């Protein structure tokens, strides 16, 4: 398949109203993103089935980092947040920060980090 | 007639951005907080169930009346996770097909918005099929929403996510019906873009759920 450019030079699209500040990724980039996401998922599942790794203190942080990486990749490339207007970035990252702070605060309040 | 056509055009805004796109991002932001509350509830109750079945450990008498296996089926959920990840790829291809309709190089499979919308909806429906299978097998193995804290928080969290996937599939089917009826083109790019944002959000929520619920013991 040809490496077609997904540029929005079509005059029928109001790129400004859609908040597109930069060109969106190409088909080739989307394909790589899908491959990277699949590989990270395979790594996560592989880690789950490694008893020695599951017992190690690195297990939970490693899985959280891999999950956060997948999350960031989808948001940046598939949701085009890397390429779109900064207002959209604020509308997403603001509530996301509050949401994550809420989770961490509640876990502290209910003693989930106690004794670690 | 001219008035009717003009009324469909989006009025100028102070930001220059379309209100519908701002609205979907604000909606996604609020959804982040909804799922944060559900995930928090699951994590707080994690490991506090008094009776089985349990997510990652088997349960034997006297703790449980009979031997109960660990309830989560990681291989099946890994496949359904892969299907949902691929649906996001199909969705970006559907958006690109709509935006680039009629451009050289988009006459073939890459420019077929109908195909990619159909594939996205199919992948979403397949994910829901996996979830229906999972819920049914859990009930047969003795885990219901009222069984223990794990059952209550698990079914609430994944059930809410499944409801969002269902809404997304219905949205995609609606877009596919419009595409079949009159064809979606560059002028409709924003409509597809908004549905794509919702669909990718459903995907990223599952990325978090898969790790926090299924993989971390």
Provide the number of CB pairs (under 8 Å) joining chain A to chain B: 163
Of A25, A60, A87, the CB nearest to B216: A60
Of A48, A49, A74, the CB nearest to B207: A74
**Tens digit of pLDDT for each residue in B67-85?**
888 899 999 999 999 999 9
| Summary mean pLDDT of chain B | 91
| CA–CA gap between residue B28 and residue A91 (Å, rounded) | 8
Percentage of residues in chain B having pLDDT higher than 70: 95
Predicted pLDDT at A8:
53
Task: Find how far residue B35's CA is from the centre of its chain.
Answer: 12
Range 58-97 of A in CB contact (< 8 A) with B:
59-60, 63-64, 66-67, 70-71, 74-75, 78-79, 85, 87-88, 91-92, 94-96
pLDDT-based confidence at B211, cuts 50/70/90?
very high
- For the cut 60, the answer to whether the pLDDT of residue A4 exceeds it is no
Q: Which two tokens stand for residue A60?
A: 């939970």
- For the cut 80, the answer to whether the pLDDT of residue B28 exceeds it is yes
Predicted pLDDT at B1:
38
A108 in contact with B at a CB cutoff of 8 Å? no
Burial class (CB in 10 A: 0-12, 13-18, 19+), B14: exposed
Of A8, A31, A107, the CB nearest to B43: A107
- For the cut 80, the answer to whether the pLDDT of residue B179 exceeds it is yes
Of A31, A71, A110, the CB nearest to B207: A71
**Contact residues on chain A for B103, CB-CB shorter than 8 A:** 10
Predicted pLDDT at A69:
97
The C-alpha torsion from A53 through A57 and A58 to A63, rounded to 10°, is: 80
Predicted pLDDT at B60:
83
**Tens digit of pLDDT for each residue in A53-80?**
999 999 999 999 999 999 999 999 999 9
**Tens digit of pLDDT for each residue in B109-164?**
888 999 999 999 999 999 999 999 999 999 999 899 999 999 999 999 999 999 99
**Contact residues on chain B for A45, CB-CB shorter than 8 A:** 74, 78, 215
User: Closest Cα partner for B153 from A106, A45, A66, A60?
Assistant: A106
Predicted pLDDT at B111:
86
Specify whether the CB–CB gap between A85 and B25 falls below 8 A. no
What 3-state class would DSSP assign to A84?
strand
| CA–CA gap between residue B204 and residue A100 (Å, rounded) | 14
The partner residues of A84 in beta bridges, in order of sequence, read: A20
Residues present in chain B in total: 217
pLDDT-based confidence at B10, cuts 50/70/90?
low
Specify whether the CB–CB gap between B21 and A89 falls below 8 A. no
Q: Per the CB < 8 Å rule, is B44 touching A106?
A: yes
């Amino acid at each position: 398949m040809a490496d077609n450019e997904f540029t929005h030079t079509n005059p029928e699209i109001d790129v400004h109203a859609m908040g597109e500040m930069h060109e969106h990724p190409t088909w080739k980039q989307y394909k790589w993103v899908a491959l990277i996401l699949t590989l990270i998922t395979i790594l996560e599942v592989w880690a789950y089935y490694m008893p020695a790794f599951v017992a190690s203190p690195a297990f939970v942080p490693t899985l959280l980092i891999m999950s956060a990486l997948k999350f960031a990749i989808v948001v940046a490339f598939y949701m085009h947040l890397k390429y779109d207007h900064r207002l959209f970035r604020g509308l997403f990252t603001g509530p996301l920060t509050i949401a994550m702070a809420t989770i961490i605060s509640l876990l502290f309040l209910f003693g989930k980090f106690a004794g670690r | 007639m001219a008035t009717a056509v003009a009324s469909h055009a989006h009025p100028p805004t102070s930001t220059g951005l379309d209100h519908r796109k701002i609205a979907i991002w604000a909606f996604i932001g609020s959804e982040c907080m909804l799922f944060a509350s559900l995930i928090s509830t699951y994590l707080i109750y994690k490991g506090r169930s008094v009776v089985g079945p349990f997510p990652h450990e088997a349960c034997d008498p006297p703790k449980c009346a009979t031997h109960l296996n660990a309830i989560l089926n990681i291989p099946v959920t890994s496949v359904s996770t892969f299907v949902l990840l691929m649906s996001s790829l199909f969705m970006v291809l559907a958006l690109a097909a709509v935006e680039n309709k009629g451009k050289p190089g988009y006459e073939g499979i890459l420019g077929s918005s109908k195909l990619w919308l159909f594939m996205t909806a199919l992948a979403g429906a397949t994910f829901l099929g996996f979830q229906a299978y999972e819920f049914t097998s859990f009930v047969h193995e003795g885990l219901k929403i009222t069984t223990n804290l794990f059952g209550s928080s698990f079914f609430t969290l994944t059930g809410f996510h499944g409801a969002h996937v269902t809404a997304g599939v219905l949205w995609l089917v609606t877009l596919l019906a419009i595409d079949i009826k009159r064809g979606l083109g560059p002028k409709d790019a924003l409509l597809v873009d908004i549905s794509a944002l919702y669909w990718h959000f459903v995907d990223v929520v599952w990325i978090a759920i898969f790790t926090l619920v299924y993989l971390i013991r």
